[in-house]
Amino acid sequence: MRGIVAMALVVLLVVWLFLSMVSCTGDRPTFIVEGAIEGAADSTLVLEAMTLEGVQPLDSVRLKDDGAFTFTVEAAPQDSTASPEFYRLRLASQLINFVVDSTESIRVEASLPKMATDYDIQGNEASRTMKTVSLLNLQLQQQLTALGKNPSLSIMEKNEQARDLVENYKLTLKRDYILRQPASSAAYFALFQTIGNQMLFNPETNKSDIQFFAAVATQWEALYPYSRRTENLRNIALRGLRNTRQARGIDIQLDGEKVRESGIIDFGFPDISGRERRLSDLGDHVVLLDFTAYALPQSQERTLLLRELYAKYHDRGLEIYQVSLDTDEHYWKTMCEQLPWVCVFCAEGISNDMVQLYNVQALPTYFLIGRGSEMRARQEQIEDLNAAIEAEL
């Protein structure tokens, strides 16, 4: 009898462990991709993840007569390393790109033979914008193919017109999809567009292209400071800056490990006594990083505001790191001589590579950096600076 009871207890324990495992698996966050592809019966639809390591197949389905499909996918953990992730549906050579920011549902309606161009996607606005970017890319490739087949043009004329077509496409992406919303997933997607097997943007040696990588990197730094995609953007931008500086005969030493550990892009400029003061030297403080010019009409009023913030929060751990982009160094020294916070001078002004890496488009521009050197937000994202500082202290 005791043996039977013991065996029953063992069985119950095994069942309990199995149910626990199933329950834990079921508790993992997921997102759903569903829809229908008309005219695709007996075709195989593949769901693929666009990772930093390359394309990774996740799942596939053999479509039936109605073309309906549903993929349930385990979402990335929503922790400090999270960021939007990119995916695509592939049927033969036709592709539909989309992005998932959390556990949302994506719905796609399409039909063959124009699945890649004539489709509707619902679930988030970024995926719809990515569709527009992809269609512009396809249009460009069609134009380049037609140009190559034009018998009335010389090789030189074809090359010149092809260059103009590519530059116009790049200009459209920069103006309408990157600068307009540099924090968006669509801006990230636009940066990595390709023509054939070549990247459209050259973030290694083209200074203009590097600035656009830097613009997106700065925004993602504030929103997703520890994600691998942010780290990748940041490293690409820094590598491009180093390459272009070395090409001009200027050596730049960038501590990649320090950048990754701190979560900010570190830099240093001289203070009023000529001593270099680095942003990372402020350690475990909440930092207001302020790019400004003392010659601005509103400078005195702004200085009073900063004095109030400094007096109110400095004893609790607030530091101000203020970068002057004035053209007159003597004037800057006169104006900041009595200020209690860190004041440094950037002789190159707004054209400085590090200033551009922070995407400073206008003055003044400030960023709020949390304890542990975590980029929290830039001024456009902060409605109440006092409340934002309070939340970090």
Q: How confident is the model at residue 314 (pLDDT cuts 50, 70, 90)?
A: very high
Q: What confidence score (pLDDT) does residue 80 get?
A: 65
Per DSSP, 138 falls in state H
Q: How many domains in the chain?
A: 2
Q: Is the pLDDT of residue 249 over 60?
A: no
Q: Is residue 114 part of a domain?
A: yes
Residue 44 maps to which CATH number? 2.60.40.180
Highest mean pLDDT among 22-36, 242-256, 279-293: 279-293
Query: Do the domain assignments include residue 283?
Result: yes
Cα 142 to chain centroid, rounded: 29
- Do residues 389 and 309 make contact, with C-beta atoms less than 8 angstroms apart? yes
Question: Is pLDDT larger for residue 376 or for residue 132?
Answer: 132
- First vs last Cα of the chain: how many Å apart? 65
In-domain check, residue 91: yes
Which CATH number characterizes residue 362's domain?
Answer: 3.40.30.10
Has residue 227 been placed in a domain?
A: no
What predicted TM-score, i.e. pTM, was given to this entire model? 0.62
Q: Rounded to whole angstroms, how far apart are CA atoms 132 and 119?
A: 11
CA–CA separation, 190 and 186 (whole Å): 6
Q: Note whether residue 359 is domain-resident.
A: yes
Last residue of a domain, one of 75, 101, 123: 123
On the question of pLDDT at 247 being above 60, the answer is no
* Across 216-220, 243-247, 332-336, least confident range: 243-247
Nearest C-alpha neighbor of 213 from the set 226, 194, 232: 232
Average pLDDT over residues 362-372: 88
Looking from the CA of 160 toward its CB, the CA atoms found within 13 Å total 5
Give the tens place of pLDDT for each residue, 341-356: 999 999 888 878 778 7
CA distances from 166 to 94, 204, 240 (A): 22, 18, 21
Within 224-255, where are the H helices?
Answer: 228-247
Task: Establish if 332 belongs to a structural domain.
Answer: yes
Model pLDDT for residues 26-63, shown as the tens digit of each residue: 566 888 999 999 999 999 999 999 999 899 999 999 99
Domain boundary among 68, 96, 123: 123
Please indicate, yes or no, if residue 343 is contained in any of the structural domains.
yes
Report which secondary-structure segment, H or E, holds 166.
Answer: helix 155-172
Last residue of a domain, one of 123, 145, 178: 123
Determine, yes or no, domain membership for 15.
Answer: no
Domain coverage including residue 371 = 269-392
